[in-house]
Amino acid sequence: MSVRAVDLILKKKQGGELTTEEINGLIRGYVAREIPDYQMSALLMAICFRGMSRRETSDLTMAMTHSGDVVDLSAIRGIKVDKHSTGGVGDTTTLILGPLVAACGVPVAKMSGRGLGHTGGTLDKLEAIDGVSVSMTVERFIEIVQQTGIAVIGQTGNLVPADKLMYALRDVTGTIDSIPLIASSIMSKKIAAGSDAIVLDVKTGSGAFMQKKEDAFALAQEMVGIGEAVGRKTVAVVTDMNQPLGMAIGNALEVREAILALSGKISEDDPLIEVVLLLGSEMLRLGGAAKTEEEAKKKLLWALRSGAGLEKLRTLLRSLGGDGRCCDEPDSLLRARRQIDVTADQDGVVGKMNAVAIGEASLLLGAGRVTKEDQIDPDVGIVMNVRLGDLVKKGQPLARFYVNDETDLIAAEELFRSALKVSQEAPRHSPMVYGVVRAEQEA
């Protein structure tokens, strides 16, 4: 169907609901560059103000999904369950979660993107290991999952091109903060990547895109509704991001933390492990490997304590061409030229953290990228020594900076100190997990 973009702009501006045919025609026309950016920008702004119905958002998601390649993972036996995080600071979950879930018998076939911001994405973290390559054909990707139960690769070049075009436009037109647009962007990529079921980790707090808990739940409900509407079992978990999730922020440093976790050297009560076990439990249940959360958690703890999860990580690294010996020698990943402690300037309690600012301090050290063309230094970053509520003494290390280029070191330390407040007042307690959104809550 041929559509006139101006008619859709006027219809949405007046609060109307776009039909399935209109949405399909819009996306086809835009990807073909028959609809110019200025008209799509106007429509995106109208959507920001007027919103979209659940049906409209589902239709937009599927139109974006089918704007390019859709990966067929049916050759892999079992239910393929994907996981997505809306982003945070020190979020090392995939490198721990994927191997544990695979060790429990649920295939993990994950396509990831690169990070843009304070640290790299999962691909950048994996590439911190010597020899790792995340580029391969889809056929080889499927073959590795069939043989080993787990593989992580970069997204194909033609996966959801509509999202690439629209996201670039939203970034420069002030139309990022629309729940229907965020939800369709995330879900179109997950569906196109071939998953049968999806577990979503929706972050909220100072280090999250959705800083208000109510907004995080609204986004979670929207994405679960979309997933179920298009035939994908979907669960969302709303988790806290008022402090870094893990203690490491930086690519090689986060791989090291994942190895320490899978080696049993991080307490099972640690917030990072708590989130991993909850997300993993949902993945095992959707994947048919467990009926209850209790049964799923028991299996995941077996994979953690027995070393089966660590062995899956080693298998993953080797299948990507990497050196799996780092799984036995995690400190070999501490490769930065200098290690500098940032210490407390008074006695007190860690009462507040701005997780985004801590992430931005690691960006100044070179751990992330501002534009997609920027080069990441895989060896630099920050390892935290404290969490919210910890008592500290003057002169005690709050964190250790791993540094190669000292150009922005002073600025990074100043930003870090402004982000972490030591005072005499204990912080207000925030739960690590705020809730789980399932399909039955949508009815």
> For 143-171, how does the pLDDT look when each residue is reduced to its tens digit (9 = 90+)?
999 999 999 988 777 899 999 999 889 98
Same domain for 320 and 302:
yes
| Structure confidence by residue, pLDDT tens digits, 280-333 | 999 999 999 999 999 999 999 999 999 999 999 999 999 999 989 999 999 999
Residue 343 lies in a domain: yes
Confidence of residue 87 (pLDDT cuts 50, 70, 90): confident
Q: Is residue 428 part of a domain?
A: no
* pTM score: 0.92
Kindly tell me if the per-residue pLDDT of 38 is higher than 70: yes
Q: Examine the domain organization and report whether 262 and 347 are in the same domain.
A: no
Q: What is residue 11's predicted lDDT score, i.e. its pLDDT? A: 97
Q: What is the pLDDT of residues 290-299, one digit of tens each?
A: 999 999 999 9
| pLDDT greater at residue 425 or residue 213 | 213
Q: Residue 3: pLDDT above 80?
A: no
429 has catalytic annotation: no
Residue of higher predicted confidence among 111 and 304: 304
pLDDT for residue 25 is more than 90: yes
Q: In sequence order, what are the residues at sequence separation of 6 or more whose Cβ sits closer than 8 angstroms to the Cβ of residue 144?
A: 136, 150, 151, 319
Statement to judge: residues 228 and 273 lie in one domain: yes
Asked if residue 291 is part of any domain, the answer here is yes
For residues 17-39, average pLDDT? 96
The enclosing domain of 343 has a CATH number of 3.90.1170.30
Structural tokens at position 200 = 């979503």
Average pLDDT over the chain reads: 92
Is 181 domain-assigned? Answer: yes
Which of 118, 189, 190, 314 does the annotation list as catalytic?
A: 189
Assess whether 128 and 179 both reside in one domain.
yes
Confidence of residue 413 (pLDDT cuts 50, 70, 90): very high
Catalytic position from the list 12, 118, 170, 400: 170
Residue 118 bears catalytic tag = no
Please name the residues in contact with 338: beta carbons below 8 A apart, sequence gap of 6 or more: 401, 402, 403, 404, 406
Residue 50 lies in a domain: yes
pLDDT of amino acid 119: 66
The answer to whether 385 and 339 have CB atoms below 8 angstroms apart is no
Distance CA 47, CA 13 (A): 8
Q: Judge whether 195 counts as a catalytic residue.
A: no
Domain count within the chain: 3
Q: pLDDT tens digits, residue range 260-279?
A: 999 999 999 999 999 999 99
Residue 173, CA distances (Å) to 12, 161, 177, 212, 355 in order: 17, 19, 11, 22, 26
Rg (CA), the chain: 22
pLDDT of residue 168: 86
Give strand pairing partners of 414: none
Of 65, 95, 115, the one marking the end of a domain is 65
* pLDDT reported for residue 118: 62
CATH number at residue 142: 3.40.1030.10
- Are 51 and 127 within one domain? no
pLDDT above 80: residue 391? yes
- Closest by Cα among 116, 404, 418, 104 to 280: 104
pLDDT value for 369: 76
Q: What is the predicted pLDDT for the residue at 252?
A: 96
Residue 374's pLDDT is what? 76
- Assign residue 11 the CATH number of its domain: 1.20.970.10
Distances (CA, A) of 291 to 84, 108, 286, 287: 22, 19, 9, 10
Rounded-to-integer distance, Cα 237 and Cα 231, Å: 19
Residues 190 and 52 in one domain: no
The mean pLDDT of 196-224, rounded to a whole number, is 92
Q: Which of 82, 91, 163, 379 is catalytic?
A: 163
- Is 305 annotated as catalytic? no
> Domain check: are 103 and 210 in the same one?
yes
Q: Would residue 403 count as lying in a domain?
A: yes
In angstroms, the CA 375 to CA 238 distance is: 32
Statement to judge: residues 49 and 94 lie in one domain:
no
Residues 268 and 175 in one domain: yes
pLDDT of 441 strictly over 60 = no
* Cβ within 8 Å of residue 165, ≥6 positions away: 30, 31, 40
- Looking at the fold, whether 257 and 391 belong to one and the same domain comes out as no
* pLDDT the model gives residue 209: 81
Q: Which residue has 């018998």 as its token pair? A: 105
Q: Examine the residue annotation and report whether 170 is marked as an active-site residue of this protein.
A: yes
- Residue 91 is predicted with a pLDDT of 87
State which residues form the domain around 42: 5-65
The answer as to whether 239 is a domain residue is yes
- The yes-or-no verdict on residue 357 having pLDDT over 90 is yes
Domain boundary among 65, 89, 106: 65
User: How far is the C-alpha of 362 from the C-alpha of 276, rounded, in Å?
Assistant: 23
- pLDDT at position 321 is 94
What is the sign, positive or negative, of the torsion defined by CA atoms of 114, 120, 125, 127? positive
Region 18-34 average pLDDT: 96
C-alpha span between 212 and 160 (Å, rounded)? 29
Out of 41, 85, 178, 185, pick the active-site residue. 185
Q: Are 144 and 185 found together in one domain?
A: yes
> Residues 12, 28, 83, 84: which is the catalytic one?
84
**Which amino acid makes up residue 383?**
V
If asked whether residues 241 and 97 sit together in one domain, one would say yes
Comparing C-alpha atoms, which of 118, 114, 125 is closest to residue 89? Answer: 118
* Residue 442 reports pLDDT greater than 50: no
Of 22-31, 68-77, 108-117, give the lowest mean pLDDT range: 108-117
